[in-house]
Amino acid sequence: GRSAPVPLKLVDPVPPVAPSLSRSLAMAFFRAAVAAVLASSAQGVSQQAALKNTMNPIMKVVTLLQDMQHKVIAEGEAEKDLYKKFMCYCTTGTGDLSASITAAETKMPEVTAEITVSEEKLEQSKADLAQAQTDRAAAEEAMKEATGIREKEAAAFA
């Protein structure tokens, strides 16, 4: 069922020319063609893209692998930097966290005592308010009685 693999043909960089032209003239013609392609890259097409268009398939694969290698190396450097930052955080972060926990544990009894004192003051203020309200009600009642007695005395006097 399998077909035999097709052998790869190596491509001659010099294009076939008429037999009357010498090999040096053919090479000059090929260089002129490459120069024309490179000159077209100056008109908007990048030099690297133009060069890739003139490369044979093996060179294209090699170029792609080299580009991939550079990209992987750059990603590796970025990962290495991130790892260093993470490890720095791990070594210094635990010290910072334990220091803040210790500070919070020392401050907790102080804060609890302040809360207790504030609650006692609140209860005392509520009791004082209730007493003031009953005293006010009693004073208003006394004023009403005094006003009533004065009105009776004024009516008897008049």
pLDDT in tens, 133-148: 999 999 999 999 999 9
Closest to 17 (Cα-Cα) out of 9, 31, 4, 29:
29
Number of Cβ atoms within 10 Å of the Cβ of 30:
16
More confident residue, 61 or 12: 61
Which pLDDT tens digit goes with each residue over 105-124?
999 999 999 999 999 999 99
Contacts of 60 (CB under 8 A, 6+ apart): 52
For the CA atoms of the chain, what is the radius of gyration? 50
Average pLDDT, stretch 55-64?
Answer: 87
Q: Is 27 in contact with 17 (CB distance < 8 Å)?
A: no
Average pLDDT, stretch 81-85?
Answer: 91
